[in-house]
């Protein structure tokens, strides 16, 4: 195999987008992944380009809700007892990131990344001929009563300040956007500019085909260590002048082989994908008070979300997927729940809700591109453009300080 200019570790949506962006700058690329393209969270996510989600997960609102949620082992947020001690240092950092000054800084950084990513996505879809994967169906956030709706208003005020379009709705106005919701949802907010993808797995596989069409190699191999001049795999060392570390929830393990400890944790997400005719879904619905969404994909109706901070090694708890599906049946009375397929995947999350993008401090030849949490698909094209800038010596279009891997 001819030595490439760049090795990308990770064949998810971030890694493959970065590979394409590097190829567009004239660099030769090899992508390596332990399972191959679209094998992880890039296949099982909700399919949203959530550019309006500028508010960090680490916030006073989440800290207030967390104790109630943690009392329910099948609720929106859970920590398995077997993992509680191990997650404690990350939770302390998360709590510190929820202080007002940190939230304000994270919101500014998230807003900048969203703007950059939206522009980069439009450019990439046009360049690669992938525009047919994009949908512009909007998104509906629903609330059970005035109290829950009122609690959401500061977040909408922050979005309004950034020019994000939305409409608050009540009663029959909700049914005009999405018929069939249970009457318990008295208020809602519709975001018309919300984008989604027809199916995240199909989209990621299409990125892989574009990488190959541009002459790139995609190799199924597990990266075990970062070594001088390349990457150690089970079958030997693969060499390249530059490395992009985009291995999702496994990235911190590889960073550790270069002597760097990054507080990356794993939000285990669950879902059930039902047949396409399970419900007449016209827009993505977010049940924020219950921590899950229902998405319309070309391959089915996906019911999923929630957060289980349980690491990479504990066995899945599919009772969490069952609990969300049961709630979805109550919230969407016409939903047919037979014939579904369950899934669990790993979201790579840093405590301040921002990704790690930039050089690994002791290894400037290694560019980090991981830690996007729920926003990997959303920020994939923007991250890719930044990575390509760093690989080719250009200054990225945004201030990179908030995303520096060594900020912790």
pLDDT of residue 16: 98
Dmax (CA) for the chain in angstroms is: 63
Rounded to whole angstroms, the Cα distance separating 40 from 11 reads 9
Give the model's pLDDT for residue 2: 83
Q: Which residues pair with 189 in a beta bridge?
A: 141, 168
Predicted local confidence at residue 76, as pLDDT: 84
* Residue-wise DSSP of 107-152: HHHHHHHHHHHHHHHHHHHHHHT-GGGEE---EEEEESSHHHHHHH
What's the pLDDT score for residue 70? 75
Burial 30-44 (b: 16+ CB within 10 A, else e): bbbbbeebbbbbbbb
Res 176: pLDDT: 96
What is the pLDDT, as a whole number, of residue 62?
A: 82
Segment 137-171, tens digit of pLDDT = 999 999 999 999 999 999 999 999 999 999 999 98
Choose among 371, 358, 350: nearest CA to 398: 358
Nearest C-alpha neighbor of 124 from the set 223, 34, 21: 21
Q: What is the model's pLDDT at position 1? A: 67
Phi first, then psi, for residue 54 (nearest 5°) are -90, -10
Q: Average pLDDT of 5-17? A: 98
pLDDT at 119 over 80: yes
The predicted structure's pLDDT at residue 67: 78
pLDDT exceeds 90 at position 125: yes
Average of per-residue pLDDT across 349-362: 96
pLDDT digits (tens, 9 = 90+) for 65-117: 877 777 677 888 888 888 989 999 999 999 999 999 999 999 999 999 999 99
In the DSSP assignment, the letter for residue 22 is H
Q: Is 408 helix (H, G, I), strand (E, B) or coil?
A: coil
Calculate mean pLDDT across residues 288-298. Answer: 95
Predicted structure pTM score:
0.95
Number of helices (H), then strands (E), belonging to the chain: the values are 11, 21
| Domains defined for the chain, CATH in brackets | 1-59+98-134+194-264+350-408 (3.50.50.60), 64-91+135-193+265-348 (3.30.9.10)
* 71-106 per-residue burial string, b: 16 or more CB within 10 A, e: under 16: eeebbbbbbbeebeeebeebeebbeebbeeebbebb
Distance of CA 1 to the CA centre of its chain: 33
Give dist(CA 297, CA 300) in Å, integer: 5
Please report, rounded to a whole number, the percentage of residues in the chain having pLDDT higher than 90: 89
- The C-alpha atoms of residue 70 and residue 72 are separated, in whole angstroms, by 5
User: How many Cβ atoms sit within 10 Å of the Cβ of residue 254?
Assistant: 25
Angstrom distance (rounded) from CA 355 to CA 379: 9
Helix ranges, 3-99 (H): 13-24, 41-44, 60-70, 84-97
How do residues 216-272 score in pLDDT, each as one tens digit? 999 999 999 999 999 999 889 999 999 999 999 999 999 999 999 999 999 999 999
């Amino acid at each position: 195999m001819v030595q490439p200019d760049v090795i990308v570790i990770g064949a998810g949506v971030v890694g493959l987008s970065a590979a394409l962006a590097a190829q567009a700058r004239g660099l030769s690329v090899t992508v390596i992944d332990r399972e191959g393209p679209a094998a992880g969270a890039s296949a099982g996510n909700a399919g949203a380009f959530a550019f309006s989600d500028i508010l960090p997960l680490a916030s006073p609102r989440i800290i207030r809700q967390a104790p109630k949620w943690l009392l329910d082992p099948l609720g929106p947020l859970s920590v398995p007892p077997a993992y509680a001690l191990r997650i404690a240092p990350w939770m302390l950092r998360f709590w510190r990131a929820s202080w007002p000054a940190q939230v304000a800084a994270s919101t500014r950084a998230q807003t900048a990344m969203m703007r950059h990513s939206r522009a980069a996505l439009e450019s990439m879809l046009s360049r690669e001929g992938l525009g047919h994967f994009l949908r512009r169906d909007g998104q509906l956030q629903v609330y059970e009563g005035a109290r829950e709706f009122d609690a959401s208003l500061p977040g909408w005020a922050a979005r309004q300040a950034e020019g994000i379009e939305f409409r608050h709705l009540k009663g029959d106005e909700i049914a005009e956007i999405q018929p069939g919701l249970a009457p318990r949802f008295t208020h809602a907010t519709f975001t018309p500019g919300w984008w989604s993808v027809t199916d995240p797995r199909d989209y990621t596989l299409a990125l892989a085909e574009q990488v190959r069409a541009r002459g790139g190699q995609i190799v199924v191999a597990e990266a075990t260590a970062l070594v001088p001049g390349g990457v150690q795999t089970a079958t030997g060392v693969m060499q390249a002048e530059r490395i992009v570390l985009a291995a999702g929830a496994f990235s911190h393990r590889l960073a550790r082989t270069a002597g760097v400890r990054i507080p990356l944790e794993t939000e285990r997400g669950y879902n059930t994908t039902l047949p396409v005719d399970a419900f007449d879904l016209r827009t993505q619905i977010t049940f924020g008070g219950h921590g899950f969404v229902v998405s319309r994909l070309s391959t089915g109706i996906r019911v999923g979300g929630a957060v289980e901070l349980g690491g990479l090694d504990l066995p899945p708890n599919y009772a969490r997927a069952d609990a969300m599906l049961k709630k979805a049946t109550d919230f969407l009375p016409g939903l047919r729940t037979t014939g579904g397929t369950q899934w669990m995947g790993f979201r790579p999350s840093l405590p301040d809700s921002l990704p790690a993008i930039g050089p690994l401090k002791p290894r400037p030849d290694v560019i980090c591109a991981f830690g996007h949490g729920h926003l990997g698909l959303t920020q994939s094209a923007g991250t890719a453009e930044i990575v390509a800038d760093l690989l080719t010596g250009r200054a990225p279009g945004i201030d990179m300080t908030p995303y520096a891997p060594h900020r912790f």
